[in-house]
Amino acid sequence: MPQTTLTVDDNPPLLAGGGFPAWPLPLDGKGVEVGRSVTRAVLGEFGMPSDLVYDAVVIASELATNALRHAYRTVRERPLAGGPEIWAYLSRRVRPEVVIKVFDSYPWHGPAGNCPTRPPWDAAGGRGLEVVDALTAEYGGRWGVHPTRCRLGAWPTSGKAVFFTVPLPGGPAPGEPLRAEPRSHRQSAERIYALLAARGLRPHLSAADGADDAVVICARAGVHVWVCADSLSYRLPGRGVIRHPSFDEVEIVEQIVRHCEQFAVVSAAGSPVSGLLR
């Protein structure tokens, strides 16, 4: 497994430089506070307004609470794999935004990208996702859920990630990198390959003939990533080719892992597998 951050400190790997830190959420009452601290730390890197940080901390608190309450309610010791986690990274395809995800090993069987937001009218609780929905709409962010695999622990374990995004106010245009020293496309390809392999996939990395040739990564049959000097692209069955900026490696990896997990779920159920993700 890749090296990860095990505690919340004042200097997490910089998201602007392509960092993709992950933290374990303790199973006791400290888990929610870790989620809050992570959110404050990663948003602090970009000098977010205090009211926006406050809303994001509330959202992270709700997501961490839900994960701990519903997926690990009867678990007393952290499992070797599949424990609750929180991740963060910077996505740049449409607009610069921080993506924060809370992972748990409880499977999600609904449509990818959708979450129930309203509990039964007579429910005593369960309205936290309504708060998440309202707050993200207020500041122009997004949220949702998708199947994925854990990043910490002894081996990759399937589960789901509930995520939300925080747009960077006044950030650079989507085509402008934030990091001062962009990687070469060969280095980007090697990183994508390593991140996919760390999640339990078995990608194949092609050898390019020339220094400027695109490097092709095959994650599984029909799922390919093209790494060029000025862009990243990937193709999923039923979706065609999707283009990203050349420094959006983490978002590419997250989409590929998400698709492969959804493919496995749908294949096991014997349903059509084309056009799984939106």
pLDDT at 278: 32
The secondary structure of residue 12, as a DSSP letter, is P
DSSP string, 117-141: ----TT-SS--HHHHHHHHHHHHT-
The greatest distance separating any two alpha carbons of the chain, rounded to the nearest whole angstrom, comes to 65
Q: What is the pLDDT of residues 168-187, one digit of tens each?
A: 987 554 445 455 456 788 89
Cβ pair 217, 64 in contact under 8 A: no
Which residue matches tokens 């608190």? 61
pLDDT at 238: 81
pLDDT at 148: 95
Instruction: Spell out a b/e string for 75-89, using b for 16 or more CB atoms within 10 Å of the CB, else e.
Output: eeebeebbbbbbbbb
Amino acid at 201: L
For the record, the structure tokens of 96 come out as 């610069």
Sign of CA dihedral 249, 254, 41, 190: negative
Asked which of 83-87, 134-138, 203-207 is least confident by mean pLDDT, the reply is 203-207
More reliable by pLDDT, 103 or 211: 103
Q: Is the pLDDT of residue 24 over 50?
A: yes
CA distance 249 to 253: 6
User: Among 3.40.190.10, 3.20.10.10, 3.30.70.100, 3.30.565.10, what is the CATH number of 15-167?
Assistant: 3.30.565.10
List, as own/partner pairs, every contact residues 154-158 make where C-beta atoms lie below 8 angstroms and the sequence separation is at least 24, other chains included. Answer: 154/1, 154/80, 154/81, 155/1, 155/80, 155/81, 155/200, 156/1, 156/81, 156/198, 156/199, 156/200, 157/81, 157/82, 157/105, 158/105, 158/107, 158/261, 158/264
Sign of CA dihedral 28, 33, 138, 178: negative
Tell the burial category of 96 from Cβ atoms under 10 Å away from its Cβ (0-12, 13-18, 19+): buried
pLDDT at 210: 59
Nearest residue to 167 (alpha-carbon basis) of 3, 55, 76: 55
Q: Is the pLDDT of residue 196 over 50?
A: yes
Q: What is the pLDDT of residues 225-241, one digit of tens each?
A: 999 988 999 998 888 89
Q: How confident is the model at residue 70 (pLDDT cuts 50, 70, 90)?
A: confident
Q: How confident is the model at residue 5 (pLDDT cuts 50, 70, 90)?
A: very low
Q: What is the mean pLDDT of residues 189-215?
A: 87
Measured CA distances, 100 to 20, 52, 87, 91, 167 (Å): 10, 14, 6, 10, 11
In the chain, what percentage of residues exceed pLDDT 70? 78
Assign 26 to helix, strand or coil. coil
Spell out the residues 6+ positions from residue 100 whose beta carbon is closer than 8 angstroms to its own.
Answer: 38, 39, 42, 56, 59, 60, 86, 87, 88, 163, 164, 165, 166
Measured CA distances, 105 to 87, 184, 261 (Å): 14, 35, 13
pLDDT at 119: 44
Q: Is the pLDDT of residue 273 over 80?
A: no
